Amino acid sequence: MKKTNLTIKMFVALAAVFVFAGALSGCSEDKPKVVAKKAEHNPFDHSHGADVTDLVKHKFEHDFAEQCVEREIKNSVNKTEDRKRYAKPCLCIATYMMKDLTAVEAEKFLQEHKDTQSLRIRFENAAYHCLQQKSQPKSPQLFGKR
């Protein structure tokens, strides 16, 4: 007899769980709630934020080129001659950096006079690119071999 009481209690509990689950699912709405949709994170989106205007890019290019020349001739003996020599590579570097310029980087450089880490990395890449364009001097020929 004890076993039948236990079995009956188990069936009653199981029936109560099914009734409770059915009641909960019956209370839900068919219409989804309208919630302000948040911008979803797209791992393949590598946009750099707000676009930079051409005027800001032009100002960045010339300010950065001038800063580059000043940095190069700081310890120079013949400043006028070195200024002419460094003007073209520095302008090339500034133009190369300007291609991927973000609004935040431009603002920090032009208004706050700060160099961000991304600008430093881009500067090294641009310097490598621009200075590789120059023709390298020929290596000496020893014994007819290179």
Q: What is the residue type of 106? A: A
Kindly give, in sequence order, each residue whose CB lies less than 8 Å from that of residue 79, ignoring residues fewer than 6 positions away: 73
Tell me the C-alpha distance between 59 and 15, whole Å: 76
pLDDT in tens, 86-134: 899 899 999 988 888 888 888 888 888 787 888 888 888 888 888 886 6
The pLDDT value given to residue 9: 87
SS3 label, residue 44: coil
pLDDT at 29 over 80: no
Q: What is the pTM of this model?
A: 0.55
Tell me the C-alpha distance between 73 and 85, whole Å: 10
Among 5-9, 23-27, 34-38, 119-123, where is mean pLDDT lowest?
34-38
| Average pLDDT of the residues in 66-85 | 89
pLDDT in tens, 34-73: 555 555 666 666 565 566 777 888 888 888 899 889 988 8
